Amino acid sequence: QVQLVESGGGLVQTGGSLRLSCAASENIRNINVWAWYRQVPGNQREVVARMTDGGVYYREAVKGRFRISRDNENKTWYLQMNSLKSEDTAVYLCYAYAATWGESLRAYWGQGTQVTVSS
């Protein structure tokens, strides 16, 4: 079974930085979409950053502050979060649209990691 293991969340003050990591299990054959989402309890989940071979998308609220990157060989991707604001506080979830050797493309989600930005 494919699993995405994410880490790197924590508590930081306004203006601080965090780097989130997401590692896919070894049975992944290919990943078409590498992404990060976030969710505040009671609110709708929202995309933060998405990466494909065709390009990268950032939501307007994080553009210029966050950057998504990836390591193809290790099937790992990252979200570098700089100049953090209180409104960035959320559970961050990594996401992959991926295929295994035995299954075609579908969505996979990480377990979530809490990011809290204090004023």
Residue 29 pLDDT: 87
Neighbours of 37 (CB within 10 A): 20
Residue 61 pLDDT: 98
Q: Alpha carbon 28 to chain centroid distance?
A: 17
User: DSSP letters along 48-60, please?
Assistant: EEEEETTEEEE-T
Query: How is residue 87 annotated by DSSP?
Result: G
Helix (H) and strand (E) counts for the chain?
A: 0, 11
pLDDT along the chain (119 residues), means of 10: 91 98 91 97 96 97 98 95 98 96 93 96
Query: How is residue 103 annotated by DSSP?
Result: S
Report the C-alpha gap between 18 and 32 in whole angstroms: 25
Side-chain half-sphere CA neighbours of 86 within 13 A = 2
